[in-house]
A and B are shown apart, each in its own frame.
Chain A
Amino acid sequence: MSDITADTAVAPPRPAGARTLAWLQNYGVYAAIAALIVVNIAITPHFLSTENLRTQLVQVAPVVIVSLGMALVIGTEGVDLSVGSVMALATALIPLYLGYGVGAAILVALVGGVAVGLVNGSLVAFVNVQPIVATLCLFVGGRGLALVLAGGRLKDVQNGTLLDLGSSSVAGIPLPVVVAGVLTVLMAGVVRRTTFGRQLVAIGGNRTASVLSGLPVRRVLLLVYVLSGLLAAVAGVLATARLQASDPSSLGLLMELSAITAVVVGGTPLTGGRVRVLGTVAGALLIQLVRATLIKHNLPDSVAQMVQAVIILGAVYAARGGTGR
């Protein structure tokens, strides 16, 4: 399996031991997923079934989509805490506009995500606010806004087309998974093959150098946050469709932490300058599998939380070389 990394770094010739270590650092996530699958096949009843695979993939799809945007943001040495609030905003907007049709409702929800991204991006790119602080503002305010828009309450969604988004399949693959897959390929292409992708990684690696090299730093940063907001809104729409209800008070809660964990566990360093798209997807999958394992074995919440803590640390420790500094 070859990972798509922005720097397409090929290790210089190193002695065998160091190479093994480097391999582990780069592909530790995949190894961990493989190990977890093997363990589950051994100890979890009914684990090897298409239904189970389907469940895991459907559940992880929104996390993957949000994480993709988060990976780009983290690649620029930023972070986007507002993604959970964006999901809430998207879900709050949908029922308000379903009267105009599904297309319009989804469009408005996505525009909401873009708007949040614009605010975040403007604060970061033009006002030079630290990303964690800039996005904290909308982390706090965004969900409040969603609740205000939704009148504070959960609304059921009855529109069949929208519900199909969450439950129908394409060639046997659930639609949310297809969307997540397509977006993954798209983002991998963006990072690997576009000027924008190259520039965002360079900005994360050395912002001053990027300015001096004449890169459109502000535009790239703005776009990165807009993309993150947009992807979070997409995740919000899909989650709404799947839940068959708009629940702005709890949809996407703690999503920012899940997404950041997925990105970091996947080997993208928080210090920026590198984006691993496939690694991010793998990171999200790993966390999903851990949670699934814990739930399937009916472990109490206390144990589940502690086990998750240990596994996050273990995964990051294994990928330490990749995460650098």
Chain B
Amino acid sequence: MTTGQATAETPVTQDTYALSGRDRAFGLIQRHGATAVLVLLLVVGSLSFSRFPTGENLGDIAITSSFPAMVALGMTFVIITGGIDLSVGSVFALGGVLAAYAVRWGTVAGLLVPLLVCGAIGLVQGLLIARVRLAPFIVTLAGLLGARGLLLSISHEGATTYLIPHGSVLARLGQGHLFGLGYPVYLTLALFVVGGVVLQRTGFGQAVYAIGGAEDAAALMGVPVARTKIVVYVLSGMLAGLSGTLNAARLSSGVTILGTGMELDVIAAVVIGGTLLTGGAGSVSGTIAGVLLLGVIQNLINQIGDLSSSYQQVVSGAFLAVVVVAQTYLSRARRL
């Protein structure tokens, strides 16, 4: 600890600046609590179910989690700015349908069209939030409806499911494996590394934190508030679209019924990962732990086997409550 050696030349009292070891420990747990619980669950799961720690099963968890994880990455940025994006579930589904629709014009179109359209939806939302100053909750709620409507109109009210041809480059992008893990897993990891660097090491990342911490102050410090917010929503839209595209590639088709309720799962994962819904604090590493945690819980409930499907929701809800309460106590203990 560098503080505590008050001298006559330091005119400011210093005792309030020091964090005790205990405080630091709590801070660490709060930030990495999800990771800790994740590790614990993995250990418990491995000891309890012989079929759990197999490469195949873990690989399944990884690939299954990679799609919500991409969406959660965008959501993390949005939430750190103090916003929320309820449209991601619909945009995710829309991205998949668009990719399957556009792949007839080639792989590049199959990748770009969903990115552009979903980015545009994010752009409109961002403009309404940052420039017209409407509440993010409502704007993205409208986005949720609008994107779903667009999806239905493209797919003739859901009657048409567009397919991504077998063996096409796009399909291989979603289905390929390397060392037992699907390509989307690697892409997700790469995106998270980039996301972490952007958040911690770029001016944009600083702006994201600053806006969530104190928007007015950030504006006065010269942070381009409106632009940063718009970019964040565009990013969230594009990541949801990309995730939808890769998911469609994996499924070889633009399934129309995906993504309902996904936004709340993703928000839950981000929150469990230690990002505060009030904005200003959070990390992408926490988010990935949060997504994996939810994935592992789901997996473990299935491992138990004959649990009625309704109990799954009860268990998930209860688990969420426990995590959230524990987190709140830890972060408060730290602040005291």
Q: Do chains A and B touch in the complex (CB under 8 A)?
A: yes
Give chain B nearest CB distance to A291 CB in angstroms.
Answer: 11
Asked whether A316 is an interface residue with its Cβ less than 8 Å from the other chain, the reply is yes
Give chain A nearest CB distance to B272 CB in angstroms.
Answer: 9
Residues on A with beta carbons closer than 8 Å to the beta carbon of B158 = 301
- A128-B328, A136-B264 known; A301 and B149 CB under 8 Å? yes
Residues on B with beta carbons closer than 8 Å to the beta carbon of A302 = 149-153, 157
Interface size on B, residues (CB 8 A): 47
Q: Which of B110-118, B243-251, B312-320 lies on the face that meets chain A?
A: B312-320
Residues on A with beta carbons closer than 8 Å to the beta carbon of B311 = 144, 148
Question: Which residue in B141, B268, B277, B325 is a CB contact (below 8 Å) of A257?
Answer: B141
Give residues 262-277 of A contacting B (CB, 8 Å).
264, 269-271
How many Å lie between the Cα of A138 and that of B325 in the bound state? 13
Give chain A nearest CB distance to B144 CB in angstroms.
Answer: 8
Question: Which residue in B145, B153, B309, B320 is a CB contact (below 8 Å) of A140?
Answer: B320
Give me the 6 closest cross-chain CB pairs, A-B, nearest first. Answer: A141-B317, A144-B313, A305-B149, A302-B152, A306-B149, A309-B146
Residues on A with beta carbons closer than 8 Å to the beta carbon of B148 = 305
Residues on B with beta carbons closer than 8 Å to the beta carbon of A136 = 264, 267-268, 271, 320
Asked whether A48 is an interface residue with its Cβ less than 8 Å from the other chain, the reply is no
Q: Are B308 and A148 in contact (CB under 8 A)?
A: yes
Asked whether A71 is an interface residue with its Cβ less than 8 Å from the other chain, the reply is no
Q: Are B137 and A270 in contact (CB under 8 A)?
A: yes
Asked whether B133 is an interface residue with its Cβ less than 8 Å from the other chain, the reply is yes
Q: Other than the known A137-B324, A141-B321, what 15 A-B pairs have Cβ atoms closer than 8 Å?
A: A127-B329, A133-B271, A140-B317, A144-B310, A144-B311, A144-B312, A147-B309, A148-B314, A260-B138, A260-B141, A270-B137, A301-B158, A303-B149, A310-B146, A312-B142
Give chain A nearest CB distance to B42 CB in angstroms.
Answer: 22
Asked whether B48 is an interface residue with its Cβ less than 8 Å from the other chain, the reply is no
Q: Are B328 and A129 in contact (CB under 8 A)?
A: yes
Question: Which residue in A129, A143, A264 is a CB contact (below 8 Å) of B138?
Answer: A264
Asked whether A145 is an interface residue with its Cβ less than 8 Å from the other chain, the reply is yes
How many Å lie between the Cα of A306 and that of B87 in the bound state? 13
Asked whether A139 is an interface residue with its Cβ less than 8 Å from the other chain, the reply is yes
- A302-B150, A313-B139, A320-B134 known; A128 and B278 CB under 8 Å? no
Q: Are B317 and A138 in contact (CB under 8 A)?
A: yes
Q: Which chain A residue shows the least CB distance to B329?
A: A127
Residues on A with beta carbons closer than 8 Å to the beta carbon of B143 = 309
- A129-B328, A301-B157, A308-B145 known; A147 and B317 CB under 8 Å? no
- A270-B135, A325-B133 known; A306 and B268 CB under 8 Å? no
Asked whether B109 is an interface residue with its Cβ less than 8 Å from the other chain, the reply is no
Asked whether B221 is an interface residue with its Cβ less than 8 Å from the other chain, the reply is no
How many Å lie between the Cα of A270 and that of B317 in the bound state? 25
Main secondary structure of the interface of B (DSSP, over half): helix
Asked whether B201 is an interface residue with its Cβ less than 8 Å from the other chain, the reply is no
Asked whether A304 is an interface residue with its Cβ less than 8 Å from the other chain, the reply is yes
Asked whether A261 is an interface residue with its Cβ less than 8 Å from the other chain, the reply is yes
- Per-position 1/0 for B145-180, Cβ under 8 A of A: 110111111000110000000000000000000000
Q: Are B277 and A133 in contact (CB under 8 A)?
A: yes
Select the residue from B132, B143, B146, B278 with max chain A CB neighbours within 10 A: B146
Q: Are B278 and A130 in contact (CB under 8 A)?
A: yes
Give residues 285-325 of A contacting B (CB, 8 Å).
300-310, 312-313, 316-317, 320, 323, 325
Residues on A with beta carbons closer than 8 Å to the beta carbon of B149 = 301-309
Asked whether B227 is an interface residue with its Cβ less than 8 Å from the other chain, the reply is no
Residues on A with beta carbons closer than 8 Å to the beta carbon of B321 = 123, 134, 137-138, 141
Q: Which chain A residue shows the least CB distance to B155?
A: A302
Q: Which chain A residue shows the least CB distance to B272?
A: A133
Question: Which residue in A127, A130, A137, A152 is a CB contact (below 8 Å) of B317?
Answer: A137
Question: Which residue in B145, B278, B313, B314 is a CB contact (below 8 Å) of A306?
Answer: B145
What are 25 A-B contacts with C-beta separation under 8 Å? A132-B277, A133-B268, A133-B271, A136-B267, A137-B321, A138-B317, A139-B317, A141-B313, A143-B313, A144-B312, A147-B309, A152-B308, A301-B157, A302-B149, A303-B149, A305-B149, A306-B149, A308-B142, A308-B145, A309-B142, A312-B141, A313-B138, A320-B134, A323-B134, A323-B135
Asked whether A142 is an interface residue with its Cβ less than 8 Å from the other chain, the reply is yes
Residues on B with beta carbons closer than 8 Å to the beta carbon of A129 = 324-325, 328
Give chain B nearest CB distance to A90 CB in angstroms.
Answer: 16
Asked whether B226 is an interface residue with its Cβ less than 8 Å from the other chain, the reply is no
Residues on A with beta carbons closer than 8 Å to the beta carbon of B267 = 132, 136
How many Å lie between the Cα of A260 and that of B140 in the bound state? 13
How many Å lie between the Cα of A142 and that of B142 in the bound state? 25
How many Å lie between the Cα of A320 and that of B158 in the bound state? 35
How many Å lie between the Cα of A142 and that of B318 in the bound state? 10
How many Å lie between the Cα of A308 and that of B137 in the bound state? 15
How many Å lie between the Cα of A140 and that of B320 in the bound state? 9
Residues on B with beta carbons closer than 8 Å to the beta carbon of A323 = 134-135
Residues on B with beta carbons closer than 8 Å to the beta carbon of A317 = 132, 134
Give residues 139-162 of A contacting B (CB, 8 Å).
139-145, 147-148, 152
Asked whether B128 is an interface residue with its Cβ less than 8 Å from the other chain, the reply is yes
Select the residue from A145, A260, A305, A317 with max chain B CB neighbours within 10 A: A305
Question: Which residue in B139, B324, B329 is a CB contact (below 8 Å) of A134?
Answer: B324
Give chain A nearest CB distance to B284 CB in angstroms.
Answer: 19
Give chain B nearest CB distance to A159 CB in angstroms.
Answer: 25
Asked whether B332 is an interface residue with its Cβ less than 8 Å from the other chain, the reply is yes
Residues on B with beta carbons closer than 8 Å to the beta carbon of A309 = 142-146, 149
Residues on B with beta carbons closer than 8 Å to the beta carbon of A271 = 135
Question: Which residue in A127, A303, A305, A313 is a CB contact (below 8 Å) of B328?
Answer: A127
How many Å lie between the Cα of A143 and that of B133 in the bound state? 34
Q: Are B134 and A316 in contact (CB under 8 A)?
A: yes
How many Å lie between the Cα of A141 and that of B323 in the bound state? 14
How many Å lie between the Cα of A224 and that of B146 in the bound state? 32
